[in-house]
Amino acid sequence: MTVVSGDAVEAVRRLKEGSDVRLRSHGSLTLNRALLAAGLVDRIQVTVFPVITGQTGVQPIFEGVPDFDLELLESRTLDGNTQELTYHPTLHA
């Protein structure tokens, strides 16, 4: 594990440039949005749960991020209903 301080986007940029190991980010929507907007995301993993939260949903996950085209790389069914999809994002022209 590596602990860094300062600007997170610049820290991830430096880590990506100096490492052959794939980096993974979980949990922080703010960080993930910033990394995506900076072009530092190579893969997006989306898990689709079989529910609709029209009245209880709070905010779009990628609100404020530029538009991206997604190329499907992998897909699998986890429990007969839940789908895990892995995409490569490319900034939409």
Provide the pLDDT for residue 27. Answer: 63
Q: Classify domain 8-91 by CATH architecture.
A: 3-Layer(aba) Sandwich (3.40)
Q: What is the pTM of this model?
A: 0.73
Cβ atoms within 10 Å, residue 89: 18
Question: By three-state DSSP, how is residue 83 classified?
Answer: strand
Neighbours of 17 (CB within 10 A): 7
Q: Please say if the pLDDT value at position 49 is more than 90.
A: no
d(CA 30, CA 21): 23
Higher pLDDT, 60 or 12: 12
Task: Give the H/E segment covering residue 35.
Answer: helix 29-37
- The three-state secondary structure class of 47 is strand
Cβ proximity of 73 and 43 under 8 Å: yes
pLDDT at 81 over 80: yes
4 falls in which pLDDT band (50, 70, 90)? Answer: confident
List the domain boundaries for the chain.
8-91
